[in-house]
Structure 1
Amino acid sequence: MDKNASVIRILVVDDNAQNLAFIRDAFSGKNYIIESTDDGDKAPAMLGQLVPNLIFVNPWIRGLSGQGLCAALRILDLDPRPAIILIYDEKEGKEVNEEILGFLDGGADDIIRLPLNKTDLYARARAQLNFSKCYRDIIVDNQNLKSILEITNAIGDTLDTSEILDIIVNHVASVLDAHRCSIVMVGEGDKGYVLVSNDAPEVRDLQIDLGRYPEIREVIRTRDPVSLDDVKTHPLMKEVGELIMDLDYTSIMVVPVTFKEHTLGTLFLRARRKNRGFTAKEIEFCQIVANASYHAFKNAKLFEQVSDEKEDLRHLAITDQLTALFNHSFFYIRLEEEFERAVRYDSPLSLILMDIDDFKRINDTYGHRIGDMVLRETSAVIRNSVRKIDVVARYGGEEIAVLLPQTSLSGALGEAERIRLNIENTKYQEDFDEVITVSLGVATYSFEHTKRPEDLVNLADKALYEAKDAGKNCVKVITEKSLS
């Protein structure tokens, strides 16, 4: 028997020893396994054990027989679906047409009349096996089509790259009963990156050495799928034999993910399969999925690119280009949001308005280039002196605002003084050795004196003018007493 050919399993349900001997002789020396029973009652149980491709049945066997036997064999709904051929003896005087129609309706696929002829027997068997193969191919194609539609529908519902890749590997692993399904991106040299793997959901962009994966290197070289029925005995894996010693009964499939002439990555599968590897239909299924994964990945990347561009545009729209602080318009958007929150929950909210002292003199003395540098670096000092939740914005010219959510008056005064000291102690460029100072005005929301967001700005602005009048480089606040 050729070990590389498919084995055909035959069950003979016949109590005629001569018929059994003839069938065994007809299929001897070929890739067939033949089992038999001389009792119709035992036949259904034997089907579950043997899972035959072909069944020869004497319909008048003792025990369960006739249409009942055919129906009992067919109702088991085996995969693969076995072909049933009746051995029919016209010498027994039965009415041929009625009997034949009844048996065929009961589940039989064909009949062969006694006496048996080897050529006729073999030809009918091959024809039924071919029909069964076609039937099986149709079933597999339908299942694969259904799976592909499920995958494409699932990945069509999201543009998140990680989610798309998770859907692909989990679905493919489930359909093919693989214990590992990964998508591996090809890098420079022998570098590869496992983007996702169904058996290790935490893995993302894991770098691997492709020198340890000759099967992947072969796919990169040929741009064709590779299927290894038994990795431990396959010549391709000889160089990494020590690394795969534990992979008993393991089959591997690697399918390229290509674009034009380039292999971008691979769909990589491992499955425990004793005496069988991946079928041609399974390889074809994975090739379709690999192509779909590329387009899904490409579309998701394109969506991310567009989203990033939109985010960049949004960032530009709310950012002052010189200082990289938020701009005046965005400051008022956030002020209204935080003011509404403070009113609703009676939570503290403070505002610092500050102005760089003598900034016009700096511009007039050193020029606008130095003036811009001072404004940029001072803005950076302010940004690094506050909390992440604080909103720092260029209010206008050399005036900067810091909105302080969840901050009381004492907290705002402390933060203002810290900013003042940090700026005063900052050393700027080597060709500019002046000490830069700021004047700061602080205001805090109160139910009585701040009815609108603009009221808080007006109070902080009034405090800023007081700081200027007090000699600059100081912090001032509008108190309840000064407002009464």
Structure 2
Amino acid sequence: MATSRILVADDDEAVLQSVTWLLQENGYEVIPANGGVSCLEQLERRSPDLLLLDILMPDADGCQLLERIKSEDRWRDLPVLMLSAQPPEEASVKSLGLGAADFIRKPYRPKELLARVQAQLRMGALLRSTRTALLRTEEALVRAQQDADSRRKLVDILHEVTGDLSVNELFHLLVRRAARALNVSHCSVVLARPGDAHAVVVAAFENPSLQHLSVQLERYPEIRAALESGQPVLVEDLETHPLYEGVREVWGIEGIEVSIRSVIALPFSVDRGQYGVFLVRRTREQELFGPADLEFAQAVITAAVAVIQRAQMVESTMADNARLEQLAQTDPLTQLLNRRALTERITAEMERALRYDSTLALLMIDLDHFKKVNDTYGHLVGDDVLRDVGQLLGHTIRGSDITARYGGEEFLVLLPETDDAGAVAFAERIRVAMEEHPFARDSMAEPLKLTASIGVAVFPAARIENVEDLFARADAALYRAKAEGRNRVRM
């Protein structure tokens, strides 16, 4: 992995040297700049992954320099971490409003500075990868436009439909654009499989509000023929075409007057076994379709199907990623967050607490004598009890709080913006709820009664500088609760 390059701009030689040394000791490539002019010169020569910029420098106003940097496209995505001895409420609001990614006050704390640097480098890398993916998508669009340059209307369609749309949204957009490009009054997307008696109209240009209308395919012989043959069907004139002979007899018997005169049915199939037909129609007042219209309609629909396939692939990938992310962050038994996921949340909340001069509390909850439950009733009952505890915690906490399973019979609750007194009171509320809750099972004559011991730790506090320190403080408090008789809260 390439070493991240950080440009540090500060007129204070002592700060510049200390920050440079700290970052280099942690494996970063550092470009020092002793002022605003030097910062711009280095930006012209080098391409850093992150800029640490002092707000006050004799030869340049840091905020004005930030504004200039963010005004140029080549530096637009460069994350900038502002350093200042000014009060946060004055400096941070102004710098963040001008596009700074974060703000840290001097004198800085090394661990906090490194944490902020790591966070901004991660965000910068994510932004660059996103823009690279976007660029590739744009390049693919350009290639598609070049291939279809002779089809101006087709290019217009592709330009509008290759956005961040769901498949259903694409269907509705495509029927609108295809109808205009083909100069038709009726354009629909009909989903069905070969041999089906019914089909579902999922989008219609002539009726934008229509959703999932079921139709009988015996009244639409061109759709059935297109599905069965897999080939486009051109019905130049419904009044004379043999495909509609039986349908015309039904119309006569039922006294139905049909305004449609000419039809093209174009079958398509996309991923996950989805079949359908693009149905384009003209009324009696319009010209009849001919072979040239069929050829152009095929080009339009071929492009449309490619767009739909791409949208389905994106939807499927996003859904798979979301499922994998949920599995990676969730305890399979209780469906609460696991320890790894909670650790990430705690890190973010600790940074937030420092930034906004707030507090947060961590409760470590351990079920008393839980081994007896497993030994007496078996692990299946024990698992049911753990699930019940997870649900009980979920019903007890506030909307902003976070619960997780630490492992075994231990649970964690994170309480943002909660001080010592509030944390202890909340822990006591949980302890009472656990003590009073009947853990009933169908196989038991009497419900189980359980108690819990709870250790509380609050941040910021002396000798708590990171997540591990916070865990250790809560664990030590839990040990005291156990040692002093269990079923109690200690801090």
TM range (shorter): 0.5 to 0.7
RMSD: 4.0
Deviation at 1:168, TM superposition (A): 2.7
Change (3 A) 1:147 1:244: farther
Secondary structure at 1:429 match in 2: coil
Query: What's the CA shift for 1:412?
Result: 4.9
The whole-number CA distance in structure 1 between the counterparts of 2:150 and 2:409 is 67
TM-score by length of 1: 0.57
Could you tell me which residue of structure 2 aligns to residue 429 of structure 1?
441
Give 1:153-172 correspondences, 5 Å limit: 160-172=166-178
Q: Structure 1 residues 275 and 445 mapped into 2: Cα distance closer, same or farther (>3 Å)?
A: closer
- For structure 2, list consecutive stretches of 5 or more residues without a partner in the other structure: 1-147
> How much does 1:172 deviate?
0.9
Superposed, 1:224-243 pairs within 5 Å as 224-227=231-234, 235=245, 236=247, 239=250
Q: Does 1:220 align with 2:231?
A: no
Q: SS of the residue aligned with 1:323?
A: coil
Compared CA separation, residues 166 and 348, structure 1 to 2 (3 A): farther
How many Å apart are 1:223 and its aligned residue? 4.3
Shift of the alpha carbon at 1:256?
1.8
Match of 1:193 among 171, 189, 200: 200
Cα gap change, 1:413 to 1:237, in 2 (>3 Å): farther
Cα deviation for residue 418 of structure 1 reads 5.2
Cα gap change, 1:425/1:240 in structure 2, threshold over 3 Å: closer, same or farther? farther
Residue in 2 that maps onto 1:441:
455
- Indicate which of 348, 354, 362 corresponds to 1:343: 354
Using the TM superposition, give the Cα deviation of residue 281 of structure 1 relative to its aligned residue in structure 2, in angstroms.
1.6
Cα 1:220–1:334 shift into 2, 3 Å? same
Alignment partner, residue 293 of structure 1: 304
Displacement, 1:184? 1.6
1:141-180 deviation line (CA, Å, top 9, x unaligned): x997333344456555658434543443232112122334
Mark the CA change 1:444 to 1:224 in structure 2 (over 3 Å): closer, same or farther: same
Query: Residue 353 of structure 1 contacts residue 399 of structure 1 at CA under 8 Å; is this kept in 2?
Result: yes
Per-residue Cα deviation, 1:426-447 (whole angstroms, up to 9, x for no partner): 4343235421222233444457
Structure 1 contact 159–299 (Cα < 8 Å) conserved? no
Q: Write the distance in 2 (CA, Å) between the matches of 1:202 and 1:460.
A: 57
Match among 265, 272, 285 for residue 274 of structure 1: 285
- In the alignment, the residues of structure 2 paired with residue 412 and residue 244 of structure 1 have an alpha-carbon distance, to the nearest angstrom, of 77
Give the aligned residue type for 2:474.
A
| Residues 427 and 360 of structure 1: CA distance in aligned 2, closer, same or farther (over 3 Å) | closer
- 1:212–1:240 CA contact under 8 A, matched in 2: no
Matches within 5 A, 1:410-425: 412=423, 416-417=427-428, 419-423=430-434, 424-425=436-437
Report if the CA contact (8 A) 1:159-1:303 is conserved. Answer: no
- Cα shift readout 1:235-258 (whole Å, capped 9, x = no counterpart): 535546799968646644332224
Letter in 1 for 2:371: K
Matched, 1:174 2:190: no
What is the DSSP-based 3-state SS (H/G/I as helix, E as strand, rest coil) of the residue aligned with 1:370?
helix
| Inter-CA distance 477–180: structure 2 relative to 1 (3 Å threshold) | farther
Which one of 384, 389, 393 corresponds to residue 373 of structure 1? 384
Within the candidate set 467, 474, 491, 1:460 is matched to 474
Unaligned runs of 5+ residues in structure 1 are 1-141, 479-484
Which residue type is aligned with residue 425 of structure 1?
H
Q: Report the secondary structure of 1:434's partner residue.
A: coil
Distance 1:456 1:425, change over 3 A: same
Matches within 5 A, 1:333-412: 333-387=344-398, 389-407=400-418, 412=423
Structure 1 residues 278, 414: closer, same or farther in 2, change over 3 A? farther
User: After the TM superposition, which residues 116-135 of structure 1 pair with which residues of structure 2 at under 5 Å, given as runs?
Assistant: none
Q: CA deviation at 1:401?
A: 0.6
Q: In 1, Cα distance between the equivalents of 2:260 and 2:319?
A: 46
Q: Equivalent of 2:313, from 302, 314, 321?
A: 302
Aligned to 2:154: 148
Q: What is the Cα deviation at residue 312 of structure 1?
A: 2.8
Q: Deviations over 1:336-363 (max 9, x none)?
A: 1111112212345332221111112223
The one-letter amino acid paired with 1:390 is D
Aligned AA (1:220): L
**CA 1:417/1:200 → structure 2, altered by over 3 Å: closer, same or farther?**
farther
Look up the SS of the partner of 1:352 in the other structure. strand
Distance of 1:322 and 1:263 partners within structure 2: 36
Counterparts in 2 of 1:268 and 1:331: CA distance versus 1, 3 Å: same
Separation of aligned partners in 1, 2:217 and 2:265: 15
Q: CA deviation at 1:400?
A: 0.6
CA–CA separation in structure 1 for the residues paired with 2:260 and 2:333: 65
Contact 2:251/2:257 (CA < 8 Å) preserved in 1? Answer: no
**If you compute each CA radius of gyration, which structure gives the higher value, 1 or 2?**
1
Inter-partner Cα distance in structure 2 for 1:403 and 1:213: 62
Match of 1:210 among 207, 216, 219: 216
Aligned twin of 1:183: 189
Deviation at 1:330, TM superposition (A): 1.4
2 CA distance for matches of 1:242 and 1:435? Answer: 76
Letter in 2 for 1:197: A
Return the letter of the residue paired with 1:179: S
- Return the alpha-carbon distance in structure 2 between the equivalents of residues 207 and 175 of structure 1: 25
